[in-house]
């Protein structure tokens, strides 16, 4: 049941990205181009997502347990380390250069455009590279 709920949630999320136009790199690049052809639609999509999340998070906190699991998995860490800061920087650079962030890129894979496939391939390669370096660092 847990996988079914996750799949339905993923479809809902992907549908929202498509309807909001966030699978189009031009939308992202135009949002970041504040001195040229600025397109504020991404700000409205993000604002709507934050509003829904704020309401849902408050409601979740009032529940004793989730519907389809025994515990909530809410992050407890609040410190900043080099992995978080470096990852955020790489994410922002990749987003700005490619016009994709991971969710919309995965949603756009079905288009089979070479730019999307290259971005997702690079993203997967980066994840595997990081895991390899992390494994080496942990073994020392």
| Residue 138 confidence (pLDDT) | 67
Tokens 């906190």 label which residue? 61
Report the distance separating Cα 15 and Cα 20, nearest Å. 8
**42: closest CA among 10, 18, 20?**
20
| Burial (Cβ within 10 Å: 0-12, 13-18, ≥19) of residue 42 | middle
pLDDT digits (tens, 9 = 90+) for 60-99: 888 888 887 788 888 888 888 888 898 889 888 888 787 7
pLDDT digits (tens, 9 = 90+) for 38-56: 888 888 888 988 999 999 9
Instruction: Give the pair of three-digit tokens for residue 8.
Output: 């339905």
Domain positions in the chain:
2-139
Is this prediction's pTM over 0.75?
no
């Amino acid at each position: 049941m847990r996988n079914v709920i996750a799949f339905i949630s993923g479809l809902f999320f992907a549908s929202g990205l498509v309807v909001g136009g966030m699978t189009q790199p031009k939308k992202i690049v135009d949002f970041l181009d504040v001195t040229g052809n600025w397109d504020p639609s991404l700000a409205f999509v993000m604002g709507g997502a934050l509003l829904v999340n704020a309401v849902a998070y408050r409601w979740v906190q009032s529940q004793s347990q989730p519907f389809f699991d025994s515990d909530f998995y809410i992050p407890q860490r609040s410190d900043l380390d080099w992995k978080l800061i470096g990852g955020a920087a790489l994410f922002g650079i990749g987003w700005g250069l490619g016009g994709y962030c991971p969710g919309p890129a995965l949603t756009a894979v079905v288009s089979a455009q070479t730019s999307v496939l290259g971005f997702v391939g690079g993203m997967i390669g980066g994840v595997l590279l990081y895991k390899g370096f992390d494994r080496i660092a942990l073994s020392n």
